[in-house]
Amino acid sequence: MGILEINGLEKHDEHNIVFPSFSLEVSESEVIAIHTSTNVRTSLLKQFMGEIPISNGEILVNKKNVKLSKRDFFSEVGFFCLDDELYERLSVKENFSFFQKLYESDFSIDEGLHIVQLETKRNVRLDKLSKSEKRRAIFGRLLIQNPTLFVFEEPDQNIDLETKRVFLKMVRELKQKGKAVLMLTSNMESALSITDQVYRLDDTGLHALDVRSEDETANEEMTGLQEEVLTQENEEEIIIQPVRFEKIPTKVNDKIVLFDPPEIDYIESRDGQSNIYIKGEMYPSVFTMTELENRLHPYGFFRCHRSYIVNLQKVREVVTWTRNSFTLVLGDAKKSSIPLSKTKMAELKTMLGLK
Residues 35 and 199 sit within 8 Å (Cβ to Cβ): yes
d(CA 121, CA 93): 8
Residues 159 and 132 sit within 8 Å (Cβ to Cβ): yes
d(CA 59, CA 182): 13
pLDDT of residue 239: 46
- Beta-bridged to residue 185, according to DSSP, are 35
- Reply yes or no on whether the pLDDT at 242 is more than 90: no
160-218 pLDDT, tens per residue?
999 999 999 999 999 999 999 999 999 888 898 899 899 999 888 999 988 876 655 55
120-140 pLDDT, tens per residue?
999 999 999 999 999 999 999
pLDDT of residue 108: 96
Provide CATH code, domain 213-351. Answer: 2.40.50.1020
* Exposure string for 1-28, b = 16+ CB within 10 A, e = fewer: ebbbbbeebbbeeeeeebbbebebebee
Residues 326 and 318 sit within 8 Å (Cβ to Cβ): yes
The torsion angles phi and psi of 184, rounded to 5 degrees, stand at: -110, 120
Helix residue ranges per DSSP H, the chain? 38-48, 70-74, 92-102, 109-115, 131-145, 161-176, 188-194, 214-234, 289-296, 342-351
**Domain coordinates in residue numbering, the chain:** 2-209, 213-351
In the CATH hierarchy, which fold is given to the domain comprising 2-209? Answer: Rossmann fold (3.40.50)
